[in-house]
């Protein structure tokens, strides 16, 4: 059975790999260029790479577009508009397309919001991270809490849909601190919140400090308590988790994120961007070179910056779908899983996991229970095996 039909969701991700400053916890493909960026040259390269993807995935209907980073709110609105226009030239655009842009909440970037809305962006995702100035400084952020709240208020004026990100289980943060901060955040929330537990990423300044014992973060029981508190407070505020770290009013889930977790196709444009495209009945995993200048040179030389293109086997595609969809509260669509690799999950193993209260099977779907979500990595290994 083919994995793709024309009406299946299809997303376009556009990666802007530059930031004003590098936050010490972040290992995203983001770079600081004090000498400035030739934005016109990058735009030309985005348009070129889009043409390449249009040839790889013709005839699709784009249901979501996501400008991520890095810091896409450093892009000029005219650049965003030109990319959107090119996407509409290559594919049909769904009537209810979701177009998200990730923004950092400095006052300078907030000045671009009106321009992004005019360009067609209809959803803004703001990286607030913390609502306390001392913590924002510790996270290396370039904005204050007041500035972030002002940017959030402005975003609500310009966009129908607004989300913001916070990071918890930060240095020295207690469950009580997080409770107060999250209650404040919920008071400002629009329709969506992304709440990430701080991850110490290898190779970052935070990892070095953590290894050296000068950065202590809540872990084990303390981090779990903060996670459970997050679920409880968001649920009672009407923004239940639809994914491990993502909360929304029902109906306001990010369609672009859902597309990843539900195993649909997407074209990723820009340095380091990943893509999943169904071709000839199988999934291909593609990714571009991470260096922005390396990517630019590659696109100018040969029309795309891809340095990896792999046909996934049915088993690999099924494991990937399992890994992604188990993060969702709605869980796995068992028929979709069977269509990918043609085999059912092991019944004995499923019964054992259900008996332990870790999974819940509801007709055509299989989902992790709240208890199962606490040990998601173990569950994925058990189900994929
Ligand atoms: C691609 S990042 C950046 C968006 C934007 N540049 C910003 O910083 O606001 C998307 C989100 O990932 C989260 N994030 C990045 N590094 C993280 C880490 N080490 N632990 C937890 N969350 C992290 C942050 O909440 C951030 O808003
Ligand atoms: S968290 Fe955002 S602003 Fe900070 S370095 Fe990462 S991508 Fe850039």
Pocket test for ligand 2, best of 71, 75, 136 (most atoms within 8 A of CB): 71
Closest listed ligand to the CA of 15: 1
Contact indicator for 102, 129 with CB cutoff of 8 Å: no
**CA–CA separation, 62 and 60 (whole Å):** 6
Give the pLDDT confidence score for residue 344 in this predicted structure: 79
- Work out the average pLDDT over 46-59: 97
Burial of 213 (0-12, 13-18, 19+ CB in 10 A): exposed
Atom 9 (ligand 1): residue with closest C-alpha? 127
Residue 129 CA, closest ligand 1 atom number: 25
The pLDDT mean for the chain works out to 95
**CA–CA separation, 175 and 83 (whole Å):** 43
C-alpha closest to that of 159 among 218, 204, 118:
118
Give the pLDDT confidence score for residue 385 in this predicted structure: 63
Q: Is the CB of 333 under 6 A from ligand 1?
A: no
Contact indicator for 216, 41 with CB cutoff of 8 Å: no
Regarding beta strands 265-269 and 10-16, do their DSSP bridges make them parallel or antiparallel, or are they unpaired?
A: parallel
Distance in Å, CA 293 to ligand 1 centroid: 23
pLDDT band at 362 (very low <50, low <70, confident <90, very high): confident
- As a whole-number percent, the residues of the chain with pLDDT over 70 amount to 98
φ/ψ region of 104 (left if φ > 0, alpha if ψ in -120 to 50, else beta) reads: beta
Residue 72 CA, closest ligand 1 atom number: 6
Per-residue pLDDT at 323 exceeds 50 = yes
Pocket test for ligand 1, best of 14, 18, 26 (most atoms within 8 A of CB): 26
**CA–CA separation, 118 and 339 (whole Å):** 41
236: preceding bond cis by omega (within 30 degrees): no
Give the pLDDT confidence score for residue 279 in this predicted structure: 92
- As a whole-number percent, the residues of the chain with pLDDT over 90 amount to 89
Give the pLDDT confidence score for residue 172 in this predicted structure: 93
How confident is the model over 195-237, as pLDDT tens digits?
999 999 999 999 999 999 999 999 889 999 999 999 999 999 9
- Work out the average pLDDT over 284-306: 98
How confident is the model over 343-357, as pLDDT tens digits?
778 888 899 999 999
Q: Is the CB of 199 under 6 A from ligand 1?
A: yes
How confident is the model over 300-309, as pLDDT tens digits?
999 999 999 9
Give the pLDDT confidence score for residue 5 in this predicted structure: 60
Pocket test for ligand 2, best of 17, 23, 125 (most atoms within 8 A of CB): 23
Name the DSSP letter for residue 31.
B
pLDDT band at 2 (very low <50, low <70, confident <90, very high): very low
């Amino acid at each position: 059975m083919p994995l793709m039909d024309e009406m299946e969701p299809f997303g376009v991700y556009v990666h802007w790999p530059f930031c004003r400053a590098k936050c010490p916890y972040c290992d995203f493909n983001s770079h600081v260029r004090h000498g400035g960026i030739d934005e016109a040259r990058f735009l030309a390269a985005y348009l070129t790479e889009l043409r390449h993807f249009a040839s790889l995935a013709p005839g699709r209907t784009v249901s979501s577009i996501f400008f991520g980073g890095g810091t896409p709110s450093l892009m000029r609105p005219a650049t965003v508009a030109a990319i959107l226009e090119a996407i509409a030239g290559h594919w049909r655009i769904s009537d209810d397309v979701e177009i998200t842009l990730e923004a950092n909440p400095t006052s300078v970037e907030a000045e671009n919001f009106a321009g992004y809305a005019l360009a067609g962006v209809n959803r803004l995702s703001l990286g607030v991270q913390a609502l306390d100035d001392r913590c924002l400084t510790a996270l290396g952020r370039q904005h204050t809490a007041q500035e972030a709240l002002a940017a959030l208020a402005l975003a609500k004026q310009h966009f129908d849909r607004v989300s913001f990100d916070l990071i918890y289980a930060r240095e020295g943060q207690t469950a009580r601190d997080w409770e107060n901060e999250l209650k404040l955040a919920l008071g400002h929330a629009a329709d969506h919140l992304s709440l990430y537990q701080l991850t110490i990423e290898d190779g970052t300044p935070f990892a070095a400090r953590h290894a050296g014992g000068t950065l202590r973060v809540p872990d084990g029981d303390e981090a779990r308590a903060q996670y459970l508190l997050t679920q409880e407070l968001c649920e009672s505020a009407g923004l239940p988790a639809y994914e491990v770290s993502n909360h929304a009013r029902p109906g306001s889930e990010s369609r672009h994120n859902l597309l990843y977790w539900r195993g649909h196709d997407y074209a990723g444009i820009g340095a380091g961007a990943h893509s999943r495209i169904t071709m000839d009945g199988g999934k291909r995993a593609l990714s571009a070179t991470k260096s922005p200048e390396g990517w630019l040179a590659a696109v100018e030389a040969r029309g795309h910056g891809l340095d990896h293109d792999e046909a996934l086997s049915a088993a690999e595609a099924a494991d990937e779908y399992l890994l992604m969809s188990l993060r969702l509260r709605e869980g796995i669509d068992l028929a979709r899983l069977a269509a990918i690799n043609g085999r059912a999950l092991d019944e004995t193993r499923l019964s054992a996991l259900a008996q332990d209260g870790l999974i819940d099977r509801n007709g055509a779907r299989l989902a992790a229970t709240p208890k199962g979500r606490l040990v998601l990595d173990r569950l994925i290994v058990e189900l994929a095996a």
